[in-house]
Structure 1
């Protein structure tokens, strides 16, 4: 694939060069105890518990259904940074960044249906409408009729969900939108290659450690700390094959892919909240976004030296971008105090 595919939804799990394992489920992960530091190669790639970064996890049941969505939570004060992961990832994709964001805001990272520890009646219904309804239902169950200020953060497929939720105005307290490495034109153009990319991934892993190693050495993730906590939740153990496989059956959801991205640029531009687009490369803007950016309708930041999963590859920079965005737009009851960044409502001494 060409370099522009870096941002592509198709590259949600992009790593074809190196062949090692990378699939296991949350249940397999949670059964593994923490291991002491070691120079052993296997220990280098050993799983790290979610509790190293988040404060708690919860299962959110949706009334009138058998759907139960898993969320990870961190922080106690400030607006809620509600994170939506990309296809094939999980809420733990935001782990390392959440550990820093929680000093300034609350973080909620949700496992979308068919992903992570969430369990739903139809695991393959990844239509944009269904996923948007899932997000609204989870927010409703968490906060009732008086939700706090919410900043939606979405990566790749999760970015399209965030944009649609914002454009549909289903969250009354929505105060900001952060979209990570997804642009309509590039995404749609890449869909023709997605099945091939999924098929070319390593499909079976003898251990969770091998899956973590595959993700880092294969290039889909560039930060080992993040991979050790996020990758295990993208896998499940297959008893019949006696190995780990991918938990999410992305290859069986093709009928929904185009719906994730068609009209995304216009919906993003029309979303009635402050918004920022974080990109891993400059070749991603389509015509509508280029014009909108020139007109100052949104902020754009190109994050250098990173792959598609910006929040995992450079979590510190990602966290600073999110908290800086919250501060500049004074989101929350008092905004977020960032040292050296003066709020407009405060006169200089």
Structure 2
């Protein structure tokens, strides 16, 4: 049997090379495990900040919560950031790591938030990238998060996503299956993979790998090729669900992503804000963390979102002018 060890055990020493790994602790403040009762499933979280609304981040397939590290570091002075390792990713451990059905992933998010906050859940803004964007949309549409105040989706549109699934297996098989070092994996990720920001890759790539002690090499942690049965479910019907979510929302796209009919009409009707970023690849939160952080913080300010919910200025002024009894 092949033996695997956490990559973190091999990346604790100091490095100075161009592609050497960097610690997530430079951006997040702490890590935490949340165990779901009656299941034994354990989900790993990265947290930053101590005040304000909670920006709850969901990564894409094959990434991890650490992909939001640089963005979190830029936002934590004004909000709290929680980045979750989804099932089968990062340091989360579940009884079935390949059950990436949209229902299971959505329920995982609900369970983690329940365990993390109980009956005192602060105002939440869901931010999801790619597969995580689909999970965020499904969670918002179910209306189970009573303190949800915003939804931000990164680079996923139903039509384009569904069309791209036909090429997903060939893309996965075209990736290198192993690397002799974490440094080589980071180098490939920015030269031949999906990342463009070396600084972010140096923080995040290690969390997507596992070490094979028998073969003495690093391989991909998440076997996405074994989860194909769930891919259609991530994106089918996503546009209508996004538009039906009863909170302020932003769709942030990389390049000139084409909207489908439902989203085009919804945008014309002012049902959501769309932002197109030109100088980024698919992993917006990694490639341009400064731009994403600015958009999120502006969204928080514009919608008057605080830890306790949405504060409407007119109501506040009326309360301040009301005579004291």
Measured in 2, the distance between the counterparts of 1:219 and 1:248 equals 16
1:53 matched residue in structure 2: 27
Offset, 1:120:
0.4
Measured in 2, the distance between the counterparts of 1:154 and 1:241 equals 35
1:133 matched residue in structure 2: 107
1:214 matched residue in structure 2: 188
**Aligned counterpart for 1:203 among listed residues 152, 177, 198:** 177
8 Å Cα contact 2:150/2:247 also seen in 1: yes
Distance 1:279 1:53, change over 3 A: same
1:228 aligns with 2:202: yes
2:48 matched residue in structure 1: 74
Q: Report the 3-state secondary structure (helix = DSSP H, G, I; strand = E; otherwise coil) of the residue aligned with 1:48.
A: coil
Measured in 1, the distance between the counterparts of 2:80 and 2:173 equals 37
Measured in 1, the distance between the counterparts of 2:168 and 2:303 equals 37
Distance 1:229 1:344, change over 3 A: farther
1:322 matched residue in structure 2: 296
Measured in 1, the distance between the counterparts of 2:182 and 2:278 equals 30
Deviation string 1:293-325 (CA, Å, 9 cap, x unpaired) is 011000000011110001100001110011111
Deviation string 1:129-181 (CA, Å, 9 cap, x unpaired) is 00000000000111001200000000000000000000001111111000000
Q: Which runs of 5+ in 1 are unaligned?
A: 1-24, 38-42, 337-342
**Aligned counterpart for 2:7 among listed residues 14, 22, 28:** 28
2:322 matched residue in structure 1: none
Distance 1:333 1:213, change over 3 A: closer
Deviation string 1:35-67 (CA, Å, 9 cap, x unpaired) is 253xxxxx2111111111100000100000110
Q: Which runs of 5+ in 2 are unaligned?
A: 318-325
8 Å Cα contact 1:223/1:312 also seen in 2: yes
Deviation string 1:177-221 (CA, Å, 9 cap, x unpaired) is 000000000000111110000000111100000000000111410
**Aligned counterpart for 1:253 among listed residues 222, 227, 231:** 227
**Aligned counterpart for 2:118 among listed residues 144, 155, 161:** 144
Distance 1:148 1:287, change over 3 A: same
Measured in 1, the distance between the counterparts of 2:145 and 2:308 equals 20
Segments ≥4 residues shifted beyond 3 Å = 333-336, 343-347
| Total equivalences in the alignment | 313
8 Å Cα contact 1:208/1:244 also seen in 2: yes
1:267 matched residue in structure 2: 241
Measured in 1, the distance between the counterparts of 2:88 and 2:40 equals 14
Measured in 2, the distance between the counterparts of 1:31 and 1:345 equals 55
Measured in 1, the distance between the counterparts of 2:234 and 2:10 equals 34
- Which of the pair has the greater relative contact order for Cα pairs under 8 Å at 6+ separation? 1
1:194 matched residue in structure 2: 168
8 Å Cα contact 2:5/2:212 also seen in 1: no
**Aligned counterpart for 1:182 among listed residues 156, 175, 178:** 156
Q: Report the 3-state secondary structure (helix = DSSP H, G, I; strand = E; otherwise coil) of the residue aligned with 1:189.
A: helix
TM-score for the superposition, normalised by structure 2: 0.93
8 Å Cα contact 2:253/2:275 also seen in 1: yes
8 Å Cα contact 2:124/2:147 also seen in 1: yes
Distance 1:335 1:327, change over 3 A: farther
8 Å Cα contact 1:329/1:335 also seen in 2: no
8 Å Cα contact 2:51/2:307 also seen in 1: no
